[in-house]
């Protein structure tokens, strides 16, 4: 716990660049860059920031500002979907207030890119990213896997189906957070992959044995306390809980090639032309920032050759569905369906 506090302090003080790394990293694809290789950021920049993870995104922004005293960074904070709607509404009114949009899920990214508001990114940014996360008009920053946290005293791995759809017919007590944005993106993925009828049936089946929580950290804590057998949550909530409580009665299970192991991502896009917005994006893809978010937020670094967070299997061992993450922007039918069934 002392190590985690120290690293947070380093981030807030703008000292992420002091982490040990080579000063001779190349700009070739496959090698992460260092902040030492990037040009200084100077000028006015407005960032619309979706709610970050526990203030850790704020630490990253503080570090960037401290390293670049000539940068006047103005930040508008809010819910990711609300900010995406604001950007679209401002564009329709002929107003451009944001230079950058950093969203915590790709559904909101899709809302903006579908309107043609994001600028095309340089090739060197795109090729830094892992295969499957290379997009022309936005850059994924970090990833998160949908998982099944389970109570290790109440359930054995053999009792957990490897199909998310099978959980609707199981006798397991389930924890979920239907109002949580990541859960709604997961249901959207299921609707796209399995169809609306199958998704409706799944929601009704799960609801019979489900306990509702306000958020997915609450789901994981409820699983660990033994209130439920298993839950639906992004991977990092379990890893953070276990980091502070190594003997916690919770572990992670993964489904196979379905929405239950969807890999979603936070993402950033440039809404204005020029070098400054693009160079800001390059800072988020440096080894320092990617390593910090992996070690402290337990998010998945999406730049090549950056270490994964401790406690998470290599991405090669996870079999997520083949899905263009921008399609998760089609959220309204999901919300209508969940309200119609009564889970929202």
Q: What is the number of H-type helices and E-type strands within the chain?
A: 12, 11
pLDDT at 52: 62
If you classify domain 2-143+264-317 with CATH, what class do you get? alpha beta
User: Is 213 marked within a binding site?
Assistant: no
pLDDT of residue 316: 77
Q: How many other C-beta atoms can be found within 10 angstroms of the C-beta atom of residue 218?
A: 19
Mean pLDDT of the chain: 88
- Tell me the domain boundaries of the chain: 2-143+264-317, 145-261+320-341
User: Does 237 carry a binding-site annotation?
Assistant: yes
In angstroms, rounded to a whole number, what is the distance separating the alpha carbons of residues 112 and 135?
Answer: 14
Q: Which residues, 6 or more positions from 113, have their beta carbon under 8 angstroms from its beta carbon?
A: 137, 138, 269, 326
Asked whether the domain spanning 145-261+320-341 has the same topology as the one spanning 2-143+264-317, the reply is: yes
Confidence of residue 28 (pLDDT cuts 50, 70, 90): very low
pLDDT tens digits, residue range 30-71? 578 999 999 999 999 999 998 766 588 999 999 999 999 999
Report, as an integer, the average pLDDT of 182-204.
Answer: 96
Q: How, if at all, do strands 43-50 and 100-103 pair?
A: parallel
Query: What is the pTM for the complete model shown?
Result: 0.83
Q: How many CB atoms lie within 10 A of CB 161?
A: 17
For residue range 284-316, list pLDDT tens digits in order: 999 999 999 999 999 999 998 899 998 887 777
Across 173-198, b (16+ Cβ under 10 Å) vs e yields bbbbbbebbbbbbbbbbbbbbbeeee
- The Cα–Cα gap between 63 and 10 comes to 8
Q: How many CA atoms lie within 13 A of 31 on its CB side?
A: 11
Distances in Å between the Cα of 279 and the Cα atoms of 9, 14, 146, 270, 274 are 25, 17, 31, 10, 9
**CATH tag for 145-261+320-341 (out of 3.40.190.10, 3.30.310.50, 3.40.50.2000, 3.40.50.300):** 3.40.190.10
């Amino acid at each position: 716990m002392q190590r985690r506090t120290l690293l947070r302090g380093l981030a807030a003080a703008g000292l992420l660049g002091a982490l040990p790394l080579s000063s001779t990293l190349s700009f070739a694809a496959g090698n992460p860059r260092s902040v030492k290789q990037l040009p200084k950021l100077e000028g006015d920049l407005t960032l619309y920031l979706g709610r970050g993870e526990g203030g850790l995104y704020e630490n990253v922004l503080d570090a960037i500002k401290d390293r670049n005293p000539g940068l006047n960074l103005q930040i508008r904070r809010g819910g990711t979907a609300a900010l995406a709607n604001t950007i679209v509404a401002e564009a329709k009114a002929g107003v451009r207030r944001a230079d950058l949009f950093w969203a915590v899920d790709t559904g909101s990214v899709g809302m903006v890119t579908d309107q043609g508001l994001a600028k095309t990114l340089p090739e060197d940014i795109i090729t830094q990213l892992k295969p499957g996360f290379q997009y022309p008009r936005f850059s994924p920053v970090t990833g998160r896997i949908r998982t099944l946290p389970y109570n290790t005293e109440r359930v054995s791995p053999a009792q957990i189906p490897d199909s998310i759809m099978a959980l609707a017919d199981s006798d397991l007590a389930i924890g979920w957070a239907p109002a949580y944005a990541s859960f709604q993106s997961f249901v959207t993925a299921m609707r796209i992959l399995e169809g609306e009828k199958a998704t409706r049936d799944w929601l009704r089946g799960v609801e019979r044995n489900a306990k509702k929580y306000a958020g997915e950290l609450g789901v994981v804590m409820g699983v660990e306390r033994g209130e439920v057998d298993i839950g639906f949550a992004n991977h990092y909530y379990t890893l953070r809980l276990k980091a502070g409580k190594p003997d916690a009665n919770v572990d992670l299970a993964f489904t196979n090639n379905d929405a239950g192991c969807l890999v979603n991502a936070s993402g950033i896009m440039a809404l204005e032309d020029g070098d400054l917005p693009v160079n800001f994006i390059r800072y988020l893809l440096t080894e320092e920032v990617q390593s910090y978010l992996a070690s402290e937020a337990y998010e998945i670094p999406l730049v090549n050759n950056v270490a994964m967070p401790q406690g998470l299997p290599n991405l090669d061992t996870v079999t997520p569905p083949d899905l263009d993450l921008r399609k998760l922007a089609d959220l309204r039918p999901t919300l209508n369906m969940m309200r119609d069934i009564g889970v929202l």
